[in-house]
Amino acid sequence: MRILVAGGAGFIGSAYVRYRLENHPGDEVRVLDKLTYAGRRENLEGLERCELVIGDIADREAVAAAIEGCDAVVNFAAESHVDRSIESPGEFIQTDVFGTYVLLEAARDAGIRHLQISTDEVYGSIEEGSFTESSPLDPSSPYSASKAGGDLLVSAFQHTYGADALIVRASNNYGPRQYPEKLIPLCILNALAGDPLPVYGDGRQVRNWLWVEDFAAAIDLVLERGQAGEVYNVGGPDERENIEVVRRIVELTGADESLITFVKDRPGHDRRYSLSSAKTEALGWRAQVGFDEGIERAVAWYRENEGWWGPIRSGEYREYYERQYGTRLA
């Protein structure tokens, strides 16, 4: 079997590529990736039976060429950081909505399955309890709105054309190879360098943390066993307030807690996310890594892999960081 993995050079996409190749020795993976700032060749280094094609999912010709000979499409390709969506919403609409449409058309023409990777943020914020797959969509940011738009196209293609299309929505992922604009890798690297640890607002926002390799296993199960037209939520086993996460990183890195710096909150910042995974668990999935174990593994990986993250903390990332937080990295 040959799988086209769109966005497979990014954080979650590359974790899935590794999982697929390790658990399906006869399979091949073709990665289609634009290699923007968060998509990196290094994330696929050393992988056999993996072909990288550089291209944009919004480019019909590139997609048509990449999908040829493939048996399924898994779409991770997305502009994915809320802060950047507030700066440049048009880029998110182009990739997350129009790009998804292009992939759906190509998969329909080829007669193959399209699995859309989405986010809990499409549901908005929830004060108590957990979102299920039947919860209404209520996105709060240009990012989550663009992802919701892509999801609605997937559902529409299934209902209108009978496309073999379905959706997986995940809670906050963390783990190796995550670009350091996100809370956990940003704070780990800043703590190791002695830089401030920026925390939005009062830091009491609650997230449902999911180890990326657990999510990769869930994606693979849904690809194999999920039903067309369905949505499958995948939530992490533990909830933590952001400030709890940052303080644990301080402990694990040996940094000084005085580095924690509360900054102006993000516009429209959702207070709490939580997903029920009952439907995905009914397929046979269970999270294997709790947050306490996962955060230790994450800190250890970044501590041991400066060769991966060192080049990132320069150039465009430094400029973005200064714009976002009003301070320079050391």
How high is the pLDDT of residue 133? 98
The mean pLDDT value for 174-196 works out to 96
Predicted local confidence at residue 313, as pLDDT = 86
Task: List beta partners, residue 3.
Answer: 29, 72
What pLDDT is stored for residue 85 in this prediction?
67
Confidence of residue 80 (pLDDT cuts 50, 70, 90): low
- Pair 47, 21: CB distance under 8 Å: yes
The predicted pLDDT at position 62 comes to: 97
Residue of 33, 79, 105, 121 marked catalytic: 121
pTM recorded for the entire structure: 0.95
- First vs last Cα of the chain: how many Å apart? 47
Instruction: Please classify residue 320 by burial: count the beta carbons closer than 10 Å to its beta carbon, then call 0-12 exposed, 13-18 middle and 19+ buried.
Output: middle
Phi, psi of 180 (to 5 degrees): -80, 35
The question of whether 224 is a catalytic residue gets the answer no
Q: What is the pLDDT of residue 75?
A: 98
Name the band, by pLDDT with cuts 50, 70 and 90, for residue 253.
very high
Q: In the prediction, which pLDDT does 267 show? A: 83
Predicted confidence band at 81 (pLDDT cuts at 50, 70, 90)?
low
Name the band, by pLDDT with cuts 50, 70 and 90, for residue 90.
confident
121 as an active site residue: the answer is yes
Q: What confidence category does residue 93 fall into, taking pLDDT thresholds of 50, 70 and 90?
A: confident
Compute the mean pLDDT over every residue in the chain, rounded to the nearest whole number.
94
Among the listed residues 120, 213, 238, 270, the single catalytic one is 120
- The full set of domains in the chain, from first to last, is 2-173+211-234 (3.40.50.720), 177-207+237-268+290-318 (3.90.25.10)
Amino acid at 79: E
Between 80 and 258, the more confident residue is 258
Q: Over 80: is that where the pLDDT of 20 sits?
A: yes
Strand ranges (DSSP E) for the chain?
Answer: 2-6, 28-33, 50-54, 72-75, 113-119, 165-170, 173-174, 197-200, 206-211, 231-234, 238-241, 260-263
Pairing of β 206-211 and β 238-241: antiparallel
Is residue 330 scored above 90 in pLDDT? no
Q: Choosing from 19, 101, 143, 179, which is the catalytic residue? A: 143
* Residue 325: per-residue pLDDT: 83
Strands across the sheet with 173-174, in order? 173-174, 206-211, 238-241
Percent of the chain with pLDDT over 70: 98
315 pLDDT higher than 80: no
